[in-house]
Amino acid sequence: MDSPTRPIKILALTPAGAALAHRLARGLEGAQCWLPEALAGEPGDLIFHKLAQAFQEAFAGNHNLVCVMAAGIVVRSMAPYLKGKDTDPAVVVVDEAGRFAVSLLSGHLGGANELARHVAQVLGGTPVITTATDVHGLPALDVLAVAQGLSIENLAGVRPVHMALLEGRPVRLVDPEGFLSGELSAYPELIRLEPDLDRALAGPGPTVYVGFRERHWPPEWLRLRPRNLVAGMGCHKETPAEELLAFIRKTFEQERLSLLSLKALATIEAKKDEPGLRMAARRLGVEFLWFTATELKDIPVPNPSFRVARHMQVASVSEAAALKAGGVELVVTKQKSPNATLAVARVAWR
């Protein structure tokens, strides 16, 4: 959910609606009014000539919308541009009297529920939230996940978990590092902690797994991934990115680790300009880090190499770099390919 960084556009069609939009824009940080030319007049106002084009542009630009108009107009206008709950922006509808702020689209992941609350607060009105978990005072796992910086690997897994909660059936939580355990401790009758992943896999029922391990997952499991792994890597000069990526992917698959949990690729300063390493990090969408030989030489590692020490002045590159990048433990010790070495460390969360 990236809605806090999305621009907010306030649309209105009538003079009364425009007056409310201007009032709202003054109370919502970063919001702009988007009005017909005849109603625009204040500094910062944007102009649209056709409402349909405004909606098309807003969805293409990933802008959150607050629409001061009838809900039916909004539904018809945005219908051609809907894609999915994980990509659609937030849409909130407000009546011209400012009495109600209705979360209409992308209530959870898009942030429309929270936006509706902010709008209602500014106007002194009432937020109207219709998502079932909110109505019944139950935890919304998709919202909690994003708030904690977790990636939702399988969005379809949210539904069986939420349905179980709404029906009063308990949901199991496998969360060995405690990413969500504290947040969900308020629901002891509905959330049951399972300390062992493999034992939990042998049992039935909807389950939430939070972690970097990979398994054969049952369909009722929701998988949430923290970014808490660092890959330390060394390589021969001019090793191509494709070879390094294949090595990383093969190792993660063999060790049953999720690439969604990879946070960074780390190496020694002498390798910081290797195009293959830089491209591999870019292709994986992770940070690229490097450390000096002085920073790495005193880090204790399980697999030091005297050959590496002769050439690089350190006894380890891959293991030492992974640990130096915040690793609290190695989950994969040094692995070798013809042209590279790789180790993976778990880093402290936050």
For residues 233 and 215, state if they share a domain: no
- Determine contact, residues 212/329, Cβ cutoff 8 Å: no
Q: Give the phi and the psi of residue 64 in degrees, each rounded to 5.
A: -75, 145
User: Number of helices and strands (H, E) in the chain?
Assistant: 14, 17
Residue 78 maps to a domain? yes
| The token pair that represents 2 in the structure block | 């990236």
- Determine contact, residues 322/301, Cβ cutoff 8 Å: no
Residue finishing a domain among 130, 158, 190: 130
Residue 135 maps to a domain? no
Tens digit of pLDDT for each residue in 192-202?
A: 999 999 999 99
Residue 77 maps to a domain? yes
pLDDT of residue 69: 93
pLDDT of residue 17: 93
Question: Where residue 342 sits, what CATH number does that domain have?
Answer: 3.30.420.180
Q: In this structure, what is the dihedral angle of CA atoms 248, 260, 331, 235, given to the nearest 10 degrees?
A: 30
For residues 126 and 154, state if they share a domain: no
Spatial distance between the Cα atoms of 56 and 3, rounded to a whole number of angstroms: 18
Nearest to 318 by CA among 132, 305, 211, 306: 305
For residues 325 and 340, state if they share a domain: yes
270 DSSP assignment = G
What is the domain extent for residue 173?
141-225
Query: Please, what is the Cα angle at 259 between 196 and 216, to 5 degrees?
Result: 45
Edge-to-edge strand order for the sheet containing 229-235?
Answer: 287-291, 262-268, 229-235, 340-347, 327-336
Residue finishing a domain among 208, 225, 242: 225
For residues 12 and 118, state if they share a domain: yes
pLDDT of residue 24: 94
C-alpha separations of 127 from 71, 75, 107, 114 in Å: 14, 18, 12, 9
Residue 302 maps to a domain? yes
- Determine contact, residues 93/102, Cβ cutoff 8 Å: yes
- Determine contact, residues 231/244, Cβ cutoff 8 Å: no
Residue finishing a domain among 108, 130, 152: 130
For residues 106 and 159, state if they share a domain: no
For residues 240 and 191, state if they share a domain: no
3-state helix, strand, coil in the chain (%, to 5): 35, 25, 35
In this structure, the number of other CB atoms found within 10 A of the CB of residue 201 comes to 16
For residues 292 and 221, state if they share a domain: no
Residue 136 maps to a domain? no
Question: Where residue 25 sits, what CATH number does that domain have?
Answer: 3.40.50.11220
Which residues in the chain show pLDDT less than 70? 1-5, 132-136, 308-310, 350
Tens digit of pLDDT for each residue in 244-291?
A: 999 999 999 999 999 999 999 999 999 999 999 999 999 999 999 999
For residues 214 and 244, state if they share a domain: no
Exposed/middle/buried for residue 285 (C-beta within 10 Å: 0-12, 13-18, 19+): exposed
Nearest to 266 by CA among 330, 191, 173, 217: 330
In this structure, the number of other CB atoms found within 10 A of the CB of residue 242 comes to 12
For residues 160 and 258, state if they share a domain: no
Residue 69 maps to a domain? yes
Nearest to 263 by CA among 143, 142, 149, 148: 149
- Determine contact, residues 64/89, Cβ cutoff 8 Å: yes
For residues 162 and 198, state if they share a domain: yes
For residues 110 and 155, state if they share a domain: no
Residue 107 maps to a domain? yes
* 2 DSSP β-pair partners: none
Spatial distance between the Cα atoms of 256 and 211, rounded to a whole number of angstroms: 12
- Determine contact, residues 268/223, Cβ cutoff 8 Å: no
pLDDT of residue 3: 41
Domain total of the chain? 3
Spatial distance between the Cα atoms of 31 and 144, rounded to a whole number of angstroms: 25
For residues 215 and 237, state if they share a domain: no
